Structure 1
Amino acid sequence: MTSEITSRYTAAQSIARQAGALGLTYFNSFDTLTIESKSHQDFVSEADKNVEALIRTAIAAAFPKDAIVGEEEEATTGTSGFTWVIDPIDGTTNFIHGIPQWCVAIAIVQDAQTVVGVIHDPVHDECNHAQRGSGAFCNGKPIRVLQGRPLTNGSLGVGFSGRTRAGGAVITLIDLITKAGGVFWRNGSGALSLAYVAQGKLLGYVEEHMNAWDCLAGQLMIEEAGGRVEAQNADAMIRDGGRVIVATAELFDEIKRLADQSYRS
């Protein structure tokens, strides 16, 4: 079974790079894109749809018995026990406005556990990747979360989307972070923010609700990079989504307390 995971791990990196290259061609002419609004502050462009189509076609050709769950198209079932969870362009609002903060995210789930994660940033040519039990890497070089840093010495990523209620919880969270001497940071791409935690650029990341295609790859990456992640069932995340709390080993408990206090409010 390890060889089956490894073959998919290798393929996921290649597919993410292919998808990123296609996405980049659209991004370089972002002002000509056809854009639709799915809901309040939730957009989809022709790039999202065509990049996802490329990813799905590549997966189906290489692993025809695998299931696929993506943001833009209906899920397809499989018989192999592996499910690919894909976001063709995470950070679409950035993408359609020419802001270079977006990525391709691919996770592979087996037995309710994420076993492969890839987050590719084509603009900066950073392909972050991890296989469970084998460490985390960026372009083949090992990456690690920050170590020995208090909340007052770094930035904490904070996410927010229109799926959550009017915003009181995130306002409370930001208030608590700043009162504790911390700095909050948001870039509009949850998946890329999670990769930044794994790379040691952010202390952690908190969001009240994320979809599986935005977070599963990054959560695995952070675990493999020495960080801590709030435990979740990957199948349940695919079905319902859920809150995401990740951080360095030293700060996880403190950040979780801030999140618990904010989201209960």
Structure 2
Amino acid sequence: MFDVLTPLAHAAGDLALSHFGNLSQAAISAKGPLDLVTEADRAVEALIVAGLRAAFPQDGILGEEGGMLPGTSDRIWVIDPIDGTFNFVRGGRQWAVSIGLWQAGVPVAGIIHAPALGLTLAGGADHAPTLNGRVLPPLTTYQPDRAVVGVALGRAMPVAGRIGTLRYLAGDAGVLFRCCNASTIALLELATGEVDGHVGCGESAWDVMAAWPILLALGATSTLDWHQTPLDAKLRYVIGKPALVEAIASLGAPMV
């Protein structure tokens, strides 16, 4: 599988890099407030879809920009061609190509390639998690006296809820938080030990599908039950080191 995914993710990253810093205003449009899409997103997704269709013709594909392409198997590839498009447009390096595999109701494998950072995270249930080809160690023990989590606060959650999440983290939980506006990068930071967990509010499946099985293979737990979660749901969850997830699990209550 990864003999296909790795070169495909790198080719997609190279294509994205060819657009990075060279986009005209005409190549950028808005899907909603502070929610951008570019011609690069569409071109990268088309490249990935073509590669997956050629290698796995029986599988379905769900892309952020193109929607669902049905298949005949119980597998669906979930794609975010450029996660962190806002950063991409503004010239920031925190963006990535994300390709995840959902099978029989759960994420099972994924690859995240962040070409501007020179990082490739890959792995899953049957593939040891690696960063740039080096096997990653399991997540370390949670230390509350130096706790930090990534946060993603999407517009699907009302403003009051977003503010309440940050207030709880900084106050009741006593946890520092950081937001990079790219879920793939935030979850990559969890895999490498830069943060202890991630709080997601209002994200979509394509934001997290690639990283999810990698993090579970590293020893993370979460509040999200994928068997009860449709692929088109807006997600609210906590994922990370088990003791951290237990301490702030209330933030992972399903969105209503």
Q: Normalization by structure 2: what TM-score?
A: 0.92
Q: CA deviation at 1:159?
A: 0.7
User: 2:30 aligns to what?
Assistant: 37
User: 1:236 aligns to what?
Assistant: 229
Structure 2 counterpart SS, 1:96: helix
Structure 2 counterpart SS, 1:22: helix
1:195-246 deviations in Å (ceiling 9; x for gaps): 2111111111001221111012112111111111224226834132321210
Question: What is the distance in 2 between the residues matched to 1:250 and 1:94?
Answer: 32
Q: Is the 8 A contact 2:61 2:76 kept in 1?
A: yes
Question: What is the distance in 2 between the residues matched to 1:171 and 1:133?
Answer: 39
Q: What are the residue-to-residue correspondences of 1:133-148 with 2, within 5 Å?
A: 133-144=126-137, 146-148=139-141
User: 2:242 aligns to what?
Assistant: 249
Worse-superposed segment, 91-100 or 149-158: 149-158
User: 1:17 aligns to what?
Assistant: 10
Aligned pair count reads: 255
Q: Normalization by structure 1: what TM-score?
A: 0.89
Q: Is the 8 A contact 2:190 2:198 kept in 1?
A: yes
Question: What is the distance in 2 between the residues matched to 1:52 and 1:235?
Answer: 27
Pick from 195, 198, 203 the counterpart of residue 205 of structure 1.
Answer: 198
Worse-superposed segment, 116-125 or 31-40: 31-40
Q: Is the 8 A contact 1:208 1:244 kept in 2?
A: yes
Q: CA deviation at 1:143?
A: 2.0
User: 2:162 aligns to what?
Assistant: 170
Pick from 92, 109, 120 the counterpart of residue 116 of structure 1.
Answer: 109
User: 1:81 aligns to what?
Assistant: 74
Structure 2 counterpart SS, 1:75: strand
Gaps of 5+ in 1: 1-6
Q: What are the residue-to-residue correspondences of 1:52-63 with 2, within 5 Å?
A: 52-63=45-56
Please tell me the root mean square deviation across aligned C-alpha atoms, in Å.
2.1
Q: Is the 8 A contact 1:209 1:244 kept in 2?
A: no
The one-letter code sitting in structure 1 at the alignment partner of 2:35 is D
Structure 1 segments, 4+ long, off by >3 Å, are 30-33, 234-237, 260-264
Q: Is the 8 A contact 2:199 2:252 kept in 1?
A: no
1:53-94 deviations in Å (ceiling 9; x for gaps): 100111111112211100001311111322100000000100
User: 1:3 aligns to what?
Assistant: none
* Change in CA separation of 1:31 and 1:149 when aligned onto 2, cut-off 3 Å: farther
